[in-house]
Structures are given as C-alpha cells and as structure tokens.
C-alpha cells in the first residue's frame, strides 16, 4: 500500500491548513520533517524543516497508529499556517520522500472503506455531510454517517441468514429426525425484514428531498407580483421586475433555507394566452416546472385565478395587498404576509419530511426493491412446501446479497470510482 499525502482542509488562504499523510511510511515522513513525533493521538508543536535543514514552518503535529485513524492506517497530520507559500513548500518536501505520493480524489476515504473503518453508506453520508448547507441536511447526513443505516442492514442480514439456515438444515438432514416444517419460523423472519424494507422505501422520497432540496414554484398571471415576491423572499434583486407584462420569459431559480430545509424557489413566466412565440415557450416551461415542483404558490389578484387549476396542497394567496387592502393578502412591497407565507411553506414541507428514513439515494432504493422482490419470491416458494425450500433459500441469499451490496460487503468495484471521484483531494 502506497503512503499518500494531501491537503485535508479547504484550499486557499486561511489561518490554519491541515496536511494529512497516511500509509506505512507516514511516521517516517513525519520524523523527517518534524524531527520527532508526539505520542500517538497527542499533539505537540514541532518545527518543520526541509532537506537542507531550513525552517518551513512551526506546526501542530498529530500521529495516529494503525487501526486508530480515519483511514485505519498509520497517519500523521500537520496543522500548519495557512499561507499558500508554506503549503506548497511542505507538500514539495513530502513529495521528495521516497515511497510517498499525492493522494487521488477520495483516496483517504476509500482506504477507510477498505480497512473497515466505514461502510459504503457512511462514505456517501460523509460526502453529504461535507456538502450540507442546511440544518436538516447536516442532521440527516450525520445520522447515516454514524452508521445507523449500516446497523439496520446488519440486523436484517442476521435475520435472513438465520432464515436461510433453517431451510438449509432441513434440506441437509431431510432423512434424519429434525423438524421438517420450519416455514412459520422462516416466514416470521421474512415478514419482519420485508416490513422494515417497506418502511425505508416509504421514507426514501422525503430523505432524498432533504438531501437534494425541495422545489417551490411561484405561479400566476403576468404582473401579479411573482418576481417581486421572489426578490422579497431572496432578500435581493434576483429577478427583473417591470410593469410590462411578460417580462419573465424563463424560469428563475433562487436557492435558500426555509425551516431548516433546502428550498429552490422558482419564478415562472406569467400564465396567459399569447401570440408571442418566445413568451409561449416561457409559459410552457413554467407549466412543466409547476407540475413537477414539490409545492406551488399561486398568486391571484382581482383578475381571479390564472391559467392553472389549483390542486390539493397548493397555497393560493392574494397579491398586492398594499393596493387591495386585503388583511390576509400578501404584499412584496410592504412585506405584509411574507413571513406568514414563509411559515406556511416551511410547515407544508416539514410535514413531508417527518417520515424520512435513513436511505437517501437511488442506489439505496434499488437495493431495497431488489431485496424486497427476492423476499416476496421466497415467501411464495415457502407456501409450496419443503420440496421448494432450496429455491426459497436461494431467494433469501439473493436478498442478502442486495443488502450486502448496499453497505459494500460484496463486489462494488463498479461503484467505487463514481462515488469517490466526487470527493476533494484531502478526503
């Protein structure tokens, strides 16, 4: 195994930068630069020197033994001053050490997986944690990174192994005095795991929304105040406002946080009959995004509803309350009703994420669906009697393989490059 090194903190000028070295030669490289290392998992200040004995920097140094580091290997971390010149100099010295090389993107985390420090769901959660922008994203990623999903999968896997074992011992000792009818016990295991998989599948859509964000479309007739509302919610001039109808031709997106959730607000073209071919395209796009959005805010004025039919879950609110005088209306000019609308959007979306499970990705959905399908087939074969126990056991083993693929216990090489390529160099 090569010894690798890289910047583990964000690039750019900073107060402190962290350089991580991992592998069998990590401690030797640390001694070469720092003269000596502190006791494992303790910090000490050391003067880092180059090959000629010149001072590079004064750094805080940490050393981790095998099995006690993030990667599971010997690790040395240098916390240096965040000057780009210092950073380049230290990296240059490490590159000159025989047996060391610059890490590839995601290689530290990949080694953590290979050394059983993380399972595959934790690796994905670490990427989500690094990318998290809202409180709900942080909490969700941290839950999965703690190993909660992997622990669930381990429990399901144990139940299924026990179920398969009951069937196999019946097959192996069919001619001897062992209980022949184990179908009730096996069915109990299968039912328990199937119900758990179904619960995770029901919560997957909400969990995906927390990770990727909700879309809230603002729709209405031209000049009803959609762009003004978007600007008021965003706190900046994100969209052009004008008294000229049809100013907004394309969908304008603004990402923000509402009730701790990631939300993308969509300002759409005004809905009306028009002969302008460009405006027609904008209206068609507006209707498409409105149909696929998670929530629609329909603005209305004295002209009534626009060219769209409200459905259950839509928020319909009167616009331009500063002109109409409606107490329950909304005005992007004065701010009346804006806070109330934000609260309502937050409440509607929060209701949808209450059922969120631990699974967050399409890969998880596929694994759960495949496992559920295999368990359904096994249950059906059980009802046909002991002559089909061998086939039922194989279906159970297929379900186990689906769950093992989820956490990275079987051949996942085809997945690894795609997953780890999204990581930064120091991870």
Binding site, by residue number, is 20, 77, 117, 223-228, 242-248, 267-270, 427
Binding site for Mg(2+), by residue number, is 227, 248
Q: Residues 6 or more apart from 300 whose CB is under 8 A from it?
A: 220, 221, 224, 306, 316, 317, 318, 319
Helix (H, G, I), strand (E, B) or coil at 400: helix
Q: Per DSSP, what are the bridge partners of residue 267?
A: 218, 252
Task: Decide if 283 contacts 269 (C-beta within 8 A).
Answer: yes
Binding site for K(+), by residue number, is 223, 242, 244, 247
Task: Decide if 300 contacts 319 (C-beta within 8 A).
Answer: yes
Counting Cβ atoms within 10 Å, is residue 21 exposed (0-12), middle (13-18) or buried (19+)? buried
412: closest CA among 420, 100, 52? 420
Q: Report the side by side order of strands in the sheet with 261-267.
A: 252-258, 261-267, 214-220, 295-300, 315-318
Q: Which two tokens stand for residue 347?
A: 């409440």
Binding site for GTP, by residue number, is 223-228, 242-248, 267-270
Give the chain's radius of gyration (CA, Å): 29
């Amino acid at each position: 195994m090569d010894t690798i090194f890289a910047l583990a903190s964000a690039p750019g000028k900073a107060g402190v930068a962290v350089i991580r070295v991992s592998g069998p030669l990590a401690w030797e490289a640390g001694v070469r630069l720092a003269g000596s290392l502190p006791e494992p998992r303790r910090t000490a200040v050391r003067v880092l020197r180059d090959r000629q004995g010149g001072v590079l920097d004064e750094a805080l140094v940490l050393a981790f033994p095998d099995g006690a580091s993030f990667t599971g290997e010997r690790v040395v971390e240098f916390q240096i001053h965040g000057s780009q010149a210092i950073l380049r100099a230290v990296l240059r010295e490490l590159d000159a050490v025989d047996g060391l090389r610059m890490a590839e993107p995601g290689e530290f985390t990949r080694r953590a997986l290979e050394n059983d420090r993380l399972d595959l769901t934790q690796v994905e959660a670490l990427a989500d944690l690094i990318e998290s922008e809202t409180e709900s994203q942080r909490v969700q990623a941290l839950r999965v990174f703690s190993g909660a999903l992997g622990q669930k999968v381990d429990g399901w896997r144990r139940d299924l192994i026990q179920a398969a074992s009951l069937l196999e011992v019946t097959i192996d000792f069919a001619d001897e005095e062992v209980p022949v009818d184990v179908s009730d016990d096996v069915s109990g295991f299968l039912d328990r795991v199937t119900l758990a998989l179904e619960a995770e599948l029901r919560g997957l859509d909400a969990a995906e929304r927390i990770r990727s964000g909700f879309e809230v479309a603002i729709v209405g007739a031209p000049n009803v105040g959609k762009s003004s509302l978007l600007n008021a919610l965003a706190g900046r001039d994100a969209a052009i406002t004008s008294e000229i109808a049809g100013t907004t031709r394309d969908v304008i997106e603004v990402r923000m946080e509402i009730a701790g959730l990631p939300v993308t607000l969509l300002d759409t073209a005004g809905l009306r009959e028009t002969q302008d071919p460009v405006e027609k395209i904008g209206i068609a796009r507006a209707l498409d995004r409105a149909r696929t959005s998670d929530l629609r805010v329909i603005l209305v004025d004295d002209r009534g509803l626009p060219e769209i039919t409200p459905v259950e879950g839509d928020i319909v609110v009167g616009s331009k309350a500063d002109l109409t005088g409606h107490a329950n209306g909304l005005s992007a000019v004065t701010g009346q009703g804006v806070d109330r609308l934000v609260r309502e959007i937050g409440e509607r979306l929060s209701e949808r994420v209450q059922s969120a499970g631990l699974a967050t990705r399409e890969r998880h959905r596929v694994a759960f669906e495949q496992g559920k399908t295999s368990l359904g087939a096994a249950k059906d074969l059980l009802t046909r009697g002991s002559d089909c126990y061998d086939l039922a056991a194989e279906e159970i083993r297929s379900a186990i393989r689906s769950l093992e693929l989820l956490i990275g216990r079987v051949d996942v090489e085809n997945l690894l490059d795609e997953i780890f390529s999204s990581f930064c160099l120091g991870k």
